[in-house]
Every structure is written in structure tokens, then in C-alpha cells.
Amino acid sequence: QVQLVESGGGLVQAGDSVRLACVVPVRIFDNYAVGWFRQAPGKERVFVAAISWVATTTYAEALKGRFTISRNTVKNTVYLQMNSLKPEDTAIYYCAAGRPWPAPNFEYWGQGTQVIVSS
């Protein structure tokens, strides 16, 4: 069973920054793209950003410039740095692994970490 584990969520204020982490099993980390998705209350889950196993990145257009995805090969961890947070960024954030690149079929998912941005 493949398990991705997210962390880093919490309650923050508008304008703050948060970094989410997703620990990925090594055999997945080395061969799969990892993406971040979010699901706001009452809404569908949507794509945020993704990074390939060679660190190519892609973002949801509306989040470019505020969010940055990166990977640490020593810790087999993918990060999502979120800056200038807004109340509308409130959501449960999920990481997922999939392939191929650049259009992965995300087949492995974490349980999610909640981010609440207060105004």
C-alpha cells in the first residue's frame, strides 16, 4: 500500500505564508510526478501545482507567483510554499503521485492537511 503523508496545515491569518510537506515513498518519489490539489468547503477538488521526478513544474494559472512547488531528494519530500495567503485559499490540501509527465494520472493520494486562512 502506497501512503503519502501531508503536514504543515493550520490556522493562519491573511497575508501569512505556509509551507506544506508531502512525504512520498522512495520508489514512488523517484519515478512519479507529485501534485498538490485543494478542496474548499462545498467545492470540488482542484489542481494547484505539480512537479516531475526531474523537477519540472506546472501550476494552476491563478496561483502562479504566490505558490511554489519544490522537492527535496534527500528527504523524499515535496513542498508547497504558499505566500500572501487569502481567505479563499482555505481548503484541505492533498498531495498525490502519478505518471506520466506532463499529464499524470494521479493514482496515489494522501489524507490531506487543512489550511484555514482568517481575514
Q: Is 76 exposed, middle or buried (0-12, 13-18, 19+ CB in 10 A)?
A: middle
The answer to whether residues 66 and 84 touch, using CB atoms and an 8 Å cutoff, is yes
pLDDT tens by residue, 88-115: 999 999 999 999 999 999 999 999 999 9
Q: What is the pLDDT of residue 80?
A: 98
Please, what's the b/e burial string for 79-113 (b: 16 or more CB within 10 A of its CB; e: otherwise)? bbebeebeeebbbbbbbbbbeeeeebebebbbebb
Average pLDDT across the chain, whole number: 97
pLDDT tens by residue, 18-33: 999 999 999 999 999 9
